[in-house]
Structure 1
Amino acid sequence: MNSLTLSEATLGVDIGTTGCRCVAYSDQAEVVTNAERLYPTSSPKPGWAEQDPDFVLAQVEECIRDAVQSVQMANYRVTLISFSAVNHGIIPLSRGEPLRPCIIWADNRSTSITEQWRLEGRQKEFYSRTCCPIHPMYLPGKLVWLAKEEPEAFQRAERFLSLKELLFYRWFGRFVIDASIASSTGLFNVHTFDWDEEILGLTGIKREQLSEVVSTTEVFEGIKREASERLGLSADVRVVIGAGDGVLSSLGAGALSSGEVTVMIGTSGAARITVSEPRLDSQGRTWCYYLAPGAWVVGGAINNAGLTLQWVREKWLNGVSFEEIEGLAAQISPGSEGLMLLPFLTGERSPNWDPSIRAALIGLDLAHGPGHFARAAMEGVAYRLKSVFEPIVELAGEVQSVRIGGGFVVSSTWVQIVADVLNTPLQILGEPQGSAFGAVVLAWLAIGKIKTLNECTSLSQINRVVYPNPQQAKFYGNQYSHYRQLYDRLYRGAGSFSTR
């Protein structure tokens, strides 16, 4: 069949923490096909989290090639690609090649550095300039760690960049970073909309070692021939740089209006709301990243969401299937008969930003079995999610809706727990939704297919609504108070500050 007779498809590429997902959409926002490739994270030392950038990008390209082939089999052709990508990664580069593995968002090796900054009272300075609290997740601490602990790599580095930046360099020969990813680095001044010279000076790098900041709707043409051939793409394919996965998750969910909150549980978890300009929380509990002109996303995130259930599955439940875990948890009454898990396996992000605290299992009894561990993990994550949901609600004022996404939506037990703990109806979205679709919406805005981001809201369909059980919501309200008391006793004073 002649390629000119094929229908056009837009490919959303979501480069995540554990893998890459590519979803192709028709012009009517219908899913044509999808593909997925996974890649590992290594932890050579406690608190470290790294990935091999060459292997990750090879898997990303394999995923794209798989999707392109599937699209062709469905009598479509990919004419437009747009990217969603994970935030907070850093790769030192010399002569176009990585000098070491990528240090990803989950890495806590710079904790001693960032805690020293906290002791020096620099929280307000960092947060007010960048909308990013002091935390080892962000790039300033990682850069100073590299300078101190791996000075040879730091000094040899001509550039410091993320996975998506490296991909665009290899495809187009340019060092570019979208304004969304830039705004999540902790190096970007949201008021000047440029790299912050004072923070760069603190980290010991120069602005020429960072990429050029471009719009999230920037369109690239002229992909290198070897790349297009490797991927099975036409040489005239247009590529939109896109944004970070968190802000695109909100866009993909169609949650752009005042009072529309999104809640996500994947490997990590988050609650987010879209605002028209950068917004700070008086207690520093949230971050704020750029999406597009007139659209910023305020959020709070937790490190250990699906990761917690995965840990319970591997360490306590002999690797049983998630379907079996669902069944085990469903048999246990709310409260897990006194067992409570505070899921800080890799430290804390929002709301108190303390990377040093660790998980606790409270109330363990001889009567507890596999189902109790499974349900306690689900409940513990729900309590953590409420702690980041609360400041988002404060910023939102009146909540109009809560839309949920992520892998956890397949678990009816876990979804019901979250609805009861948050004590609010949860709108579960059908396709299209998620970060890959958010990237596609940005692409359509970039080429003029849509005029405003708000046009995507009509494409987000509510699959079903899960309502809180009044009796269980009251019970979990008391349990959450107990959780807060335990938190204060175990981790009292962790990281709090005021920007007033």
Structure 2
Amino acid sequence: MADIYVIGIDAGTESMRAGVFDLDGGLVAEGVTPIETRFPQASWAEQSPEDWWRALGASVRQAVGKAGIRPDQVVGLAADTTCCTVVAMDDRGRSLRPAIIWMDMRAAPQAARIAALDDPALKVNNAGRGPVSAEWMIPKSLWMAENQPDLFEQADYVCDCQDYINFHLTGRMVANITSASTRWHYDSRTGYAAGLLSKLGLTALLDRWPREVLPLGQVIGGLTPAAAEHLGLPAGLPVAQGGSDAFIGMIGLGVVQPNRLAMITGSSHNHLGFVGEEVHGAGFWGTYPDAVIPGLHAIEGGQTSTGSVIAWFKRLIDSGITYERLNAEAAELPPGSEGLVVLDHFQGNRTPYTDSASRGAITGLTLRHGPAHIFRAMMESVAFGTELILETMGAAGFKPEDVVVCGGATNSDLWIQIHADVSGLPLKLTRIANAPMLGSAVLAAVGAGHYDDIATAAGRMVQVVRTVEPDMKRYEAYRPVYDSYKALYPALKVVLRP
């Protein structure tokens, strides 16, 4: 099998990445093409779908060329994309306006109106307590229908970035179950949320959404001749259904069974796991039935500001001090940073409080404290935020045995150790840094028929290369500091508001 390969595509906000993988999950070569984001008004963010298509062709050709393989050695491909990047297009695949990408907040008023409704489809949002994010599909579609009604009427399809790309690859319009379940209020047992759309006067959206919702790894179709020429790959090459990047990252981390947690780190943290039965509760999102693995319910938590807080502090001091030096000096300090406790809500809180108006704080400062103290306390605060999410999920029955982690936090041995020590759980790191891209390759291998299912493919293609065990003495030392962290939000809620 060494002579055949699959391609995993990761369509992110900043770039289009394509990786050539062998069937053991080894990355042979990668192609990267930047994508431009435009900001026509405050809180708006748009991209050109045509730019995605150009970047996809360039990245795939780069990757195959760097790999030094023949195009006919590629046996399948799949893509993950950003979620809730909404496209209005005609039946030939031509976009009618720039795509409203996930970070665009123009639909905040529509989101607030949706959150105020009483509808069972909203139970996945904090057990119906909300909020509904302006990022999501229905608020953006409602904004389009209300503010650009002629364009909305002209659209044959209103779909996601994922669906646009797959349509251009195969000529077939389908939705993926991950994005639909987590951000469109689709339920695998009952279908689209027709009742919710009716309450909004938006039933016309049902005629514009893809009719079919496919599970991950199912073959959508083969590359059309035009797509094959664009990518430099054989016509008819199987294209497997992918999904939204963070959830495909679960697969790329090998988190495909209950009682394990995928932690995807970067500017923010995403916490994703599976439970065997449906649960809903305050402080987390979900659960979403069949959204990633058939028969399992996905549970979701997240922190808004994590790596971005660390980067902000580094920019703020701007004294030539390196991350390496900060890590080394912070590692010499004891748990608790000698009395400092930070609240990591620099851009609000996603879970468990879901409070966009909350703000960050650095407490306990004395003249003894220096940059390394603040640096470590910030790392600890993010780990405390993760622990609070795990505690909240645990009350609903989800108690992971370990955490598999990828992303920016893995660049700091200290930060990973702090996470392990605060949670008392082992943290596992895998050999491929881009977990979503590897997850797409896993789906491509399943779609190409080389593995029977996602769990089997992930078991073969995802390899853990390091385990960071918690130090239980430090775990105990962190308990009173964690209690102080938990006390900060209710104490400061009334004063730290914008």
> What TM bracket, shorter-length normalisation?
0.7 to 0.9
Question: 1:215–1:257: structure 2 CA closer, same or farther, 3 Å change rule?
Answer: closer
- Supply the distance in 2 between the matched residues of 1:87 and 1:203 (Cα, whole angstroms): 24
In the TM superposition, residue 10 of structure 1 has moved relative to its aligned partner by 0.6
- Supply the distance in 2 between the matched residues of 1:18 and 1:199 (Cα, whole angstroms): 33
- Supply the distance in 1 between the matched residues of 2:124 and 2:350 (Cα, whole angstroms): 18
Partner residue, 1:70: 66
Establish whether residue 310 from structure 1 lines up as the match of residue 311 from structure 2. Answer: yes
Establish whether residue 269 from structure 1 lines up as the match of residue 265 from structure 2. Answer: no
Question: 1:75–1:215: structure 2 CA closer, same or farther, 3 Å change rule?
Answer: closer
- Letter matched to residue 22 of structure 2: S
- Contact 2:162/2:242 (8 A) holds in 1: no
- Letter matched to residue 209 of structure 2: L
- Supply the distance in 2 between the matched residues of 1:74 and 1:338 (Cα, whole angstroms): 60
Partner residue, 2:491: 489
Establish whether residue 256 from structure 1 lines up as the match of residue 266 from structure 2. Answer: no
Further displaced range: 378-387 or 388-397: 388-397
Establish whether residue 165 from structure 1 lines up as the match of residue 163 from structure 2. Answer: yes
In the TM superposition, residue 343 of structure 1 has moved relative to its aligned partner by 3.2
Question: 1:315–1:88: structure 2 CA closer, same or farther, 3 Å change rule?
Answer: farther
User: How big is each residue's C-alpha offset from its partner over 1:441-498, in whole Å with a ceiling of 9 and x where there is no partner?
Assistant: 2233333322233323254333222122333323332222222211112337x9xxxx
Further displaced range: 464-473 or 330-339: 330-339
- Contact 1:255/1:457 (8 A) holds in 2: no
- Letter matched to residue 268 of structure 1: S
Question: 1:75–1:208: structure 2 CA closer, same or farther, 3 Å change rule?
Answer: closer
Question: 1:50–1:198: structure 2 CA closer, same or farther, 3 Å change rule?
Answer: same
Question: 1:247–1:24: structure 2 CA closer, same or farther, 3 Å change rule?
Answer: same
102, 119, 133: which is aligned to 2:99? 102
Question: 1:247–1:476: structure 2 CA closer, same or farther, 3 Å change rule?
Answer: same
Partner residue, 1:136: 134
Return the TM-score normalized by structure 1. 0.84
Partner residue, 2:482: 480
Establish whether residue 446 from structure 1 lines up as the match of residue 442 from structure 2. Answer: no
- Supply the distance in 2 between the matched residues of 1:130 and 1:54 (Cα, whole angstroms): 36
- Contact 2:7/2:444 (8 A) holds in 1: no
Partner residue, 1:206: 205
- Supply the distance in 1 between the matched residues of 2:320 and 2:381 (Cα, whole angstroms): 20
- Contact 1:79/1:234 (8 A) holds in 2: no
- Contact 1:405/1:434 (8 A) holds in 2: yes
- Supply the distance in 2 between the matched residues of 1:474 and 1:487 (Cα, whole angstroms): 22
In the TM superposition, residue 41 of structure 1 has moved relative to its aligned partner by 4.7
In the TM superposition, residue 80 of structure 1 has moved relative to its aligned partner by 0.9
463, 468, 480: which is aligned to 1:461? 463
- Contact 2:269/2:305 (8 A) holds in 1: yes
Question: 1:266–1:83: structure 2 CA closer, same or farther, 3 Å change rule?
Answer: same
- Supply the distance in 1 between the matched residues of 2:126 and 2:478 (Cα, whole angstroms): 36
- Contact 2:172/2:221 (8 A) holds in 1: no
- Supply the distance in 1 between the matched residues of 2:418 and 2:482 (Cα, whole angstroms): 12
Establish whether residue 285 from structure 1 lines up as the match of residue 284 from structure 2. Answer: yes
Question: 1:321–1:98: structure 2 CA closer, same or farther, 3 Å change rule?
Answer: farther
In the TM superposition, residue 11 of structure 1 has moved relative to its aligned partner by 0.9
Partner residue, 1:414: 415
Question: 1:363–1:139: structure 2 CA closer, same or farther, 3 Å change rule?
Answer: farther
- Letter matched to residue 242 of structure 1: G
In the TM superposition, residue 418 of structure 1 has moved relative to its aligned partner by 1.0
User: How big is each residue's C-alpha offset from its partner over 1:232-268, in whole Å with a ceiling of 9 and x where there is no partner?
Assistant: 2122322112222223222222223332222221232
20, 24, 33: which is aligned to 2:20? 24
- Supply the distance in 2 between the matched residues of 1:11 and 1:459 (Cα, whole angstroms): 13
Partner residue, 1:8: 4
In the TM superposition, residue 129 of structure 1 has moved relative to its aligned partner by 9.7
- Supply the distance in 2 between the matched residues of 1:315 and 1:151 (Cα, whole angstroms): 45
Structure 1 residue runs without a partner (length 5+): 495-500
Partner residue, 1:238: 238
- Contact 1:267/1:306 (8 A) holds in 2: yes
Return the TM-score normalized by structure 2. 0.85
In the TM superposition, residue 181 of structure 1 has moved relative to its aligned partner by 1.7
Q: Per the alignment, in what secondary structure is the counterpart of residue 6 of structure 2? A: strand
Structure 2 residue runs without a partner (length 5+): none
- Letter matched to residue 491 of structure 1: K
Question: 1:346–1:154: structure 2 CA closer, same or farther, 3 Å change rule?
Answer: farther
Further displaced range: 441-450 or 476-485: 441-450
User: How big is each residue's C-alpha offset from its partner over 1:121-170, in whole Å with a ceiling of 9 and x where there is no partner?
Assistant: 63765125998853323222223334445555545544322212222222
Establish whether residue 33 from structure 1 lines up as the match of residue 29 from structure 2. Answer: yes
- Contact 1:64/1:231 (8 A) holds in 2: yes
- Supply the distance in 2 between the matched residues of 1:94 and 1:401 (Cα, whole angstroms): 46
Q: Per the alignment, in what secondary structure is the counterpart of residue 32 of structure 2? A: strand
State the superposition RMSD in angstroms. 3.5
In the TM superposition, residue 412 of structure 1 has moved relative to its aligned partner by 0.3
- Contact 2:107/2:143 (8 A) holds in 1: yes
Question: 1:423–1:17: structure 2 CA closer, same or farther, 3 Å change rule?
Answer: farther
- Supply the distance in 2 between the matched residues of 1:358 and 1:47 (Cα, whole angstroms): 19
- Contact 1:23/1:32 (8 A) holds in 2: yes
- Supply the distance in 2 between the matched residues of 1:301 and 1:129 (Cα, whole angstroms): 13
Partner residue, 1:247: 247
In the TM superposition, residue 368 of structure 1 has moved relative to its aligned partner by 4.9
- Supply the distance in 1 between the matched residues of 2:326 and 2:201 (Cα, whole angstroms): 45
Partner residue, 2:54: 58
- Supply the distance in 2 between the matched residues of 1:203 and 1:354 (Cα, whole angstroms): 28
- Letter matched to residue 114 of structure 1: A
Q: Per the alignment, in what secondary structure is the counterpart of residue 442 of structure 1? A: helix
